[in-house]
């Protein structure tokens, strides 16, 4: 039980990658607390503590419900708004920055005292393959997630002395409700699978495994890193 007695807060632990991470952590003995706008039936079935929270209208009332110390934080809210640059409004960029970056900043500011108390906490943020590899129609999300990666490395530096580690996972297309419209027909699913050197799209378990590694003692000498869990998309080209 590597996570026994470890308190882990998952913002967005009710769907997709966050939900799978919550399940896997629970199986390994963690005390998992999820927070999101609404509880989901899948998360409810796990009987995890759920706190209502909209990061777009953040208030720190969740703090009253949290334990005194947090050993881990995973921030999962994200967006996929793919459009040509000329059809994206400035407001779209602003919304993506608020959800992906400023939401994380506000949560982190609120829970930092609890992370400091844990004597070696780990924070996992989510980026995207598109922050590394230029892809058409991804300008808004790539901009926001590049900021997430900047936040990750800067906080890793600032809190290294406090033994709080910050790392990010950068997925490529992963089969979750967020990506549903990109995988909604067999043709789309097959084309997406073929685009990846390893011949398939990601599954929530692929990302949850990376998140658990980053939260665990197995990665205790790693901070300020971005793990590219993307079927080879960002680094491999088949001839």
77-116: contacts with ligand NAP (CB under 6 A): 77-78, 99
Helix %, strand %, coil % for the chain, to 5? 45, 15, 40
Please enumerate in sequence order all residues whose Cβ is within 8 A of that of 28, keeping only pairs 6 or more positions apart, or say none. Answer: 1, 2, 3, 212
Q: Is 15 in the site for ligand NAP (CB under 6 A)?
A: yes
Q: Rounded to an integer, what distance in angstroms lies between the CA atom of residue 78 and that of residue 99?
A: 6
Nearer to ligand NAP by Cβ, of 121 and 144: the residue is 144
Q: Is 171 in the site for ligand NAP (CB under 6 A)?
A: yes
112: which 2 tokens? 């930092």
Q: Is 21 in the site for ligand NAP (CB under 6 A)?
A: no
CB of 143 to ligand NAP, least distance (A): 13
What are the Cα distances from residue 206, in Å, to 4, 21, 38, 233? 22, 10, 25, 14
Widest pairwise Cα distance in the chain: 55
CA dihedral 133, 137, 138, 143 (to 10 degrees): 110
192-211: contacts with ligand NAP (CB under 6 A): none
**Residues 32 and 13 sit within 8 Å (Cβ to Cβ):** yes
Nearer to ligand NAP by Cβ, of 121 and 183: the residue is 183
**Residues 49 and 65 sit within 8 Å (Cβ to Cβ):** yes
Nearer to ligand NAP by Cβ, of 17 and 164: the residue is 17
19: which 2 tokens? 């939900």
CB of 221 to ligand NAP, least distance (A): 25
Q: What is the DSSP letter of 185?
A: S
Positions of E strands within 157-229: 164-171, 226-229
Q: Which stretch binds ligand NAP (CB under 6 A): 6-14, 191-199, 211-219, 221-229?
A: 6-14
Nearer to ligand NAP by Cβ, of 116 and 135: the residue is 135
Nearer to ligand NAP by Cβ, of 164 and 201: the residue is 201
CB of 15 to ligand NAP, least distance (A): 4
Q: Which stretch binds ligand NAP (CB under 6 A): 13-21, 66-74, 115-123, 132-140?
A: 13-21
124-143: contacts with ligand NAP (CB under 6 A): 126, 128
Q: Rounded to an integer, what distance in angstroms lies between the CA atom of residue 30 and that of residue 70?
A: 11
* Residues near ligand NAP (CB under 6 A), total: 27
CB of 34 to ligand NAP, least distance (A): 7
**Residue 231 zone, left/alpha/beta (φ > 0; ψ -120 to 50; rest):** left
41-80: contacts with ligand NAP (CB under 6 A): 53-56, 76-78
228: which 2 tokens? 């590219």
Binding site for ligand NAP (CB under 6 A): 11-12, 14-18, 36-38, 53-56, 76-78, 99, 126, 128, 171, 173-174, 176-179
């Amino acid at each position: 039980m590597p996570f026994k007695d470890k308190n882990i807060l998952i913002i967005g632990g009710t769907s997709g990658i966050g939900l799978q991470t919550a399940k896997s952590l629970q199986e390994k003995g963690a005390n998992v607390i999820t927070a999101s706008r609404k509880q989901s039936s899948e998360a409810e079935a796990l009987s995890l503590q759920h706190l209502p929270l909209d990061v777009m209208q953040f208030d720190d009332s969740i703090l009253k419900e949290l334990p005194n110390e947090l050993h881990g934080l995973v921030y999962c809210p994200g967006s996929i708004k793919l459009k040509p640059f000329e059809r994206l409004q400035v407001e779209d960029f602003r919304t993506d920055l608020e959800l992906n970056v400023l939401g994380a900043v506000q949560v982190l500011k609120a829970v930092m005292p609890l992370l400091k108390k844990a004597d070696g906490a780990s924070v996992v943020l989510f980026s995207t393959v598109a922050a590394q590899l230029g892809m058409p129609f991804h300008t808004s999300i790539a901009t926001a997630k590049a900021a997430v990666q900047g936040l990750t490395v800067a906080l890793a530096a600032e809190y290294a002395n406090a033994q709080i580690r910050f790392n990010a996972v950068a997925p490529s297309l992963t089969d979750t409700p967020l990506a549903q419209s990109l995988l909604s027909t067999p043709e789309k699913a097959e084309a997406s699978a073929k685009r990846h050197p390893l011949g398939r799209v990601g599954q929530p378990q692929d990302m949850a495994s990376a998140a658990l590694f980053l939260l665990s003692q197995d990665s205790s000498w790693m901070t300020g890193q971005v793990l590219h869990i993307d079927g080879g998309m960002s680094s491999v080209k088949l001839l």
